[in-house]
Amino acid sequence: MIKILLFANLAEQAGAQSINMEEEKTTTDRIRQFLKETYSLQGTDRAMIAVNEVYKRGNSEVKSGDTVAFIPPVSGG
């Protein structure tokens, strides 16, 4: 099982701050696609991704037991 954490507007849109994905092995791109298809989360393309609290760029491997966080850009003044 992979734990997916959502923050800010992504959590609001999904109606949950965390989601479990029943996969043994996948990639960050596949998780992004899963969120789009299952929860209609289009903002994941702009979100930073962290796997086990380490920021990742591009497509990264994820395995069961990992925690993946999608952190959307923030703005403010």
35 vs 76, which has greater pLDDT?
Answer: 35
What's this model's pTM, rounded to 2 decimal places?
Answer: 0.91
pLDDT computed for residue 77 by the predictor:
56
Query: Regarding the domain delimited by 2-71, which CATH topology (the fold level of the hierarchy) does it fall under?
Result: Ubiquitin-like (UB roll) (3.10.20)
| Domain residue extents for the chain | 2-71
For residue 70 the two structure tokens come to 């999608």
Per-residue pLDDT reduced to its tens digit, 48-63 = 999 999 999 889 999 9
**Mind listing the pLDDT tens digit for each residue in 17-41?**
999 999 999 999 999 999 999 999 9
